[in-house]
Amino acid sequence: MTTVLPGGPKQLSPTLTATEIRKTIQSLTDGEKTAVMKIARLYALRTPYGHEDLFHEALCRLLEGTRTWPRGAPAVLVVAGIMRSVAWGWRRRSTEDNADAVSSAEQEWVILLQDLISAFDGKPLLQHILIEMLNGTKGPELREWIAQLLQQKGLAVGTDVPQIDSLLRSIRRRVETFRAQTQ
Amino acid sequence: MTMENLNQDSPLHLADTLADEIAHTPAQTLLGEVAEDLGDRRALASEFDAVVARALHQSRPKALTAAMKNLAAWLSQSLLRKPVLIRVGTLAVLLVAVGGYYYHDARRTGVPIASLNPPPPAPRQPGMGPPFSAYTNDDRGGSQAPAAAGMPAAAAPPPSPQVQSDLQKAESAYGMARAYEARARATDAFDRGDYPTAIASLTEALRSCANRCEPEVRAALDFDLERAQAARNTNTTVAVAAAPQPAANGAQAVAAAKSPPLPSLAWPAQGRIAVSFGARTVADAQARTSEGITIAVPETADVRAAADGIVSYVGGDKGPGKFVLIRHEGDLNTGYGHLRSVKVKASDQVHRGEVIAKGLASRAGAPSQLYFEVRQGAAAVDPMQYLPQDQDTKNTRKDRR
């Protein structure tokens, strides 16, 4: 039995307030904190700043209210989305500020990506999936594509979700290692 | 394998997919990976905590600055806009204009024109306010209480919605103020029987009012002018004879002219009389005299009607609290000032002893007092003549100064 206060239930705003954001951030588990920092390392790749700066910037924008936190949205996904946006802006600004060096930057990117792909030498399946990921295939579409690839190679019958998860995790681990080595 | 689509966005695409994978990876797996890579399960969590602590520390002054900016923006948008300034200015002009009318009218004493020649049901009240002697002064700290006769129509004329602009309102108010002043002089002259002066003043009022006042106001002035002209033409000796000669205190002269028997009134509240009728105030010892009595009563005291009657006015009092006016039989009116919670409204019928207000308002640090006045027509009379004397003995009357 619930008690209804006079005036009816309190109407919540669709987004968290700064106070609620503080409380939510401070109450995350170690697993969630680790996930956030791992994602920050990925998005900070080839940005002018480090992953801590990226997370710090995202957090400040949340607390200042320039970015909102939809009520009920998972913390890791919200923070990841903001970090992605910030990293995108940093990269774009970096390119605009160095208009003369665009071509050299592109060359650097090509070298970086080639190095990344080379890091998967000896693992043709992972390398194939990695290139598809770099080409922009993501989410369910990517999983469906991987399932078809596995079937074509006779490695699976139907959609083997645990196998796909394992492949993606392997790629992620290799990318993390590559990032740590190139930093 | 094709690499033709690789570009600067490729790492972002890769990060999107891997971030999604991380978000769906069990926490224990992630912590195990960190332990494997960095030798401490909480290595990244500690990084997280350090960044959060830094961000929270920095966000406080930023939040304060943002709040101040929002407040400044709101103030600039809400208070500094031109239409608001015009409204504030117009309100100030209206207050000065209406206050000027009250001031000039309050300086005048004597028999109102209404008592000599009772007007027909007023076709002219809405814009102009009460007939000539609607307001007189009292000694309640310099406040001006509405007098009995014209109280219901005595409120400040509300801005007409038909007026095209605020500036036009202000101009109209200025003209009306001049008209009120001239009209007050006309009333004085009329009461003295000096009809030519009254006619001249009314003519001046009409001139001041031209193209500025509302039609109702001009109609009211025309009406007065006709009456003054008629009085001059017929040489109304009755009016001249009945009108008191100019005196230092016309109200008291009128009061003295009233003949007994006097109706009996009930005390509106129990208490000591702090200021008696006719006492001069310290603040304005030169001219103002109390036109009622002031009774020192507890702050929570009930205020009761002195006799059966009809509430003719409930409204603001220039002093603290509110003012209630009740009209009784025989053109007798009683006024109650400094009320806090008024329980009646205009046109209500009240009975003797009925509670009309609960509690009294007072200025900070000042004792609570009830102002009580009695008027025969518009002329103030000593309430003690009407109040039971046995009660009077309970009340310690202050000497009349």
Q: Do B208 and B283 fall into the same domain?
A: no
> What local confidence, expressed as pLDDT, does residue B395 receive?
45
Residue B130 structural domain: 82-116+123-244
Residues from chain A that touch B53, judged by Cβ atoms under 8 A, are none
Split at pLDDT 50, 70, 90, the class of B210 is low
**A123 within a domain of the structure (yes/no):** yes
Lowest mean pLDDT among A21-30, B226-235, B312-321, B362-371: B226-235
pLDDT exceeds 80 at position A124:
yes
Residue B347, in any domain of the structure? yes
d(CA A98, CA A163): 43
Are residues B239 and B270 both part of a single domain? no
Last residue of a domain, one of B244, B273, B303: B244
Higher confidence at residue B218 or residue B131?
B218
Mean pLDDT computed over B257-278: 76
- Amino acid of residue A22: R
- pLDDT at residue A35 in the model: 95
Does residue B382 fall inside a structural domain? yes
Using an 8 Å CB-CB cutoff, list chain A residues near B34.
34
Under the banding of pLDDT at 50, 70 and 90, the label for residue B149 is very low
Query: What is the identity of the amino acid at B287?
Result: A
User: Which one, of B152, B135, B153, lies nearest residue B144 by Cα?
Assistant: B135
Would the CA dihedral through A80, A83, A89, A93 be positive or negative? Answer: negative
Whether residue B272 is found in the same domain as residue B223: no
Contact (CB, 8 A) for B227 and B186: no
Whole-angstrom distance, CA of residue B44 vs CA of residue A39: 11
pLDDT in tens, B94-111: 788 777 666 665 555 444
Q: Which residue of chain A has the CA closest to B53?
A: A26
Nearest CA in chain B to A138: B17
Q: Is residue A6 part of a domain?
A: no
3-state SS, one letter per residue, for A68-135: CCECCCCHHHHHHHHHHHHHHHHHHHHHHHCHHHHHHHHHHHHHHHHHHHHCCCCCHHHHHHHHHHHC
The better pLDDT of the pair A81, B252 is held by A81
* Shortest alpha-carbon distance between residue B6 and chain A (Å): 6
Question: Where is average pLDDT lowest: B18-27, B128-137, B181-190, B381-390?
Answer: B128-137
For chain A, percent of residues with pLDDT exceeding 90: 24
Q: Is the pLDDT of residue B228 over 50?
A: yes
Residue A115 lies in a domain: yes
If you average pLDDT over residues A165-183, what whole number do you get? Answer: 85
Tell me, yes or no, whether B50 lies in a domain. no
Confidence of residue B234 (pLDDT cuts 50, 70, 90): low
Which range marks the domain in which residue A154 is found?
102-173
* Residues A55, A44: Cα–Cα separation, whole Å: 9
pLDDT in tens, B8-60: 677 788 888 889 889 888 999 999 999 988 888 889 999 999 999 888 887 76
Q: Please compute the mean of the pLDDT values over residues A93-121 and round it to a whole number.
A: 71
Same domain, A75 and A37: yes
**Quick check: is A56 in a domain?**
yes
List the one residue out of B40, B55, B37, B27 whose CA is nearest residue A36: B27
B276 plus B386 within the same structural domain: yes
Question: Residue B23 is nearest to which of A30, A76, A128, comparing CB atoms?
Answer: A76
Q: Write down the pLDDT at residue B79.
A: 62
Cβ distance B23 to A35 less than 8 Å, yes or no, reads yes
Residues A67 and A86 in one domain: yes
Same domain, A149 and A128: yes
Top-confidence residue, A42 or B378: A42
Q: Residue B371: inside a domain, yes or no?
A: yes
The reply to whether B271 and B197 lie within a common domain is no
Q: What was the pLDDT predicted at B284?
A: 45
Residues A36 and A109 in one domain: no
Chain A: closest CA distance from residue B160 (Å): 38
The answer to whether residues A67 and A33 belong to one domain is: yes
pLDDT at B63: 65
Is A179 a member of any domain? no
Domain end point (choices A52, A76, A97): A97
Q: Which residue has the higher pLDDT, B252 or B382?
A: B382
Query: Residue A57 is which amino acid?
Result: E
Interface test with A, best of B16, B31, B60 (most A CBs within 10 A): B16
Shared domain for B237 and B106, answered yes or no, is yes
Q: Are residues A85 and A45 in the same domain?
A: yes
pLDDT score of B175: 63
Give me the residues of A, 22-81, that contact B with CB < 8 A: 22, 25-26, 28-39, 42-43, 45-46, 52, 55-56, 59-60, 63-65, 74, 76-77, 80
- Same domain assignment for residues B158 and B235: yes
pTM here is: 0.42
Asked if pLDDT for residue B64 goes beyond 90, the answer is no
Cis before A162? omega within 30: no
Q: Clarify whether residues B205 and B92 are in a common domain.
A: yes
B262 or A71, greater pLDDT: A71
ipTM for the complex shown: 0.85
For residues A53-73, average pLDDT:
90
Q: CATH number for the domain including B328?
A: 2.70.70.10
Which of A42, A136, A44, A39 is closest to A89 using CA atoms? Answer: A44
End position of a domain, from candidates A97, A130, A153: A97
Minimum distance, in Å, between the CA of residue A4 and any CA atom of chain B: 33
Contact B39/A at CB under 8 A: no
What was the pLDDT predicted at A27?
Answer: 92
Q: Does pLDDT of B355 surpass 80?
A: yes
Query: Does one domain contain both B199 and B236?
Result: yes
Domain contains B53: no
Distance in angstroms (rounded) separating the CA atoms of residues B334 and B375: 6
Q: What is the pLDDT of residue B94?
A: 76
Element at B332 (helix H, strand E): strand B332-342
Give a yes or no: residue A41 inside a domain: yes
What mean pLDDT, rounded, does chain B reach? 69
pLDDT of residue B172: 57
Question: Is the same domain home to A49 and A114?
Answer: no
Better-scored residue on pLDDT, B304 or B223: B304
For residues B236 and B268, membership in a common domain is answered with: no
Other beta carbons less than 10 A from residue A22's beta carbon: 18
Q: Is B43 left (phi over 0), alpha (psi -120 to 50) or beta?
A: alpha
Query: Among residues 64-123 of chain B, which lie with CB inside 8 Å of chain A?
Result: 66
Q: How would you classify the pairing of strands B379-381 and B332-342?
A: unpaired
Domain membership of residue B67 (yes or no) is: no
Does the pLDDT value for residue B391 go beyond 70? no
Q: Is residue A162 part of a domain?
A: yes
Same domain, B128 and B232: yes
**Single residue among B211, B244, B277 that ends a domain in this structure:** B244
Average pLDDT, chain A: 83
Residues A56 and A123 in one domain: no
| pLDDT on residue B398 | 41
Q: Are residues A112 and A155 in the same domain?
A: yes
Q: Which of A31, A42, A172 sits opposite B31 (nearest CB)?
A: A31
The verdict on a CB contact (< 8 Å) between B20 and A138 is yes
- For the cut 90, the answer to whether the pLDDT of residue A80 exceeds it is yes
Last residue in a domain, options B244, B276, B303 = B244
Q: Assess whether A141 and A162 both reside in one domain.
A: yes
For the segment B161-176, the average pLDDT, to the nearest whole number, is: 55
pLDDT score recorded for residue B55: 86
The answer to whether position B351 is within a domain reads yes
The answer to whether the CB atoms of B63 and A128 lie below 8 A apart is: no
Co-location of A20 and A33 in the same domain: yes
- For the ranges A84-98, B58-72, B238-252, the lowest mean pLDDT is seen at B238-252
- Overall number of domains in chain B: 2
Same domain? B221 vs B274 = no
Residue B356 included in any domain: yes
Residue A165 at interface with chain B, using a CB cutoff of 8 Å: yes
Q: Do B59 and A172 touch (CB under 8 A)?
A: no
Last residue of a domain, one of A80, A97, A114: A97
Q: Which of A112-121, B128-137, B387-396 has the lowest mean pLDDT?
A: B128-137
Q: Do A17 and A92 sit in the same domain of this protein?
A: yes
User: In angstroms, what separates the C-alpha of B14 from chain A's closest C-alpha?
Assistant: 5
Contact A134 B10 (CB under 8 A): yes
Residue A105 forms contact with B (CB below 8 Å): yes
Chain B residues 49-68 within an 8 A CB cutoff of chain A: 49-52, 54-56, 58-59, 62-63, 66
User: Considering its fold, how many domains does chain A have in total?
Assistant: 2
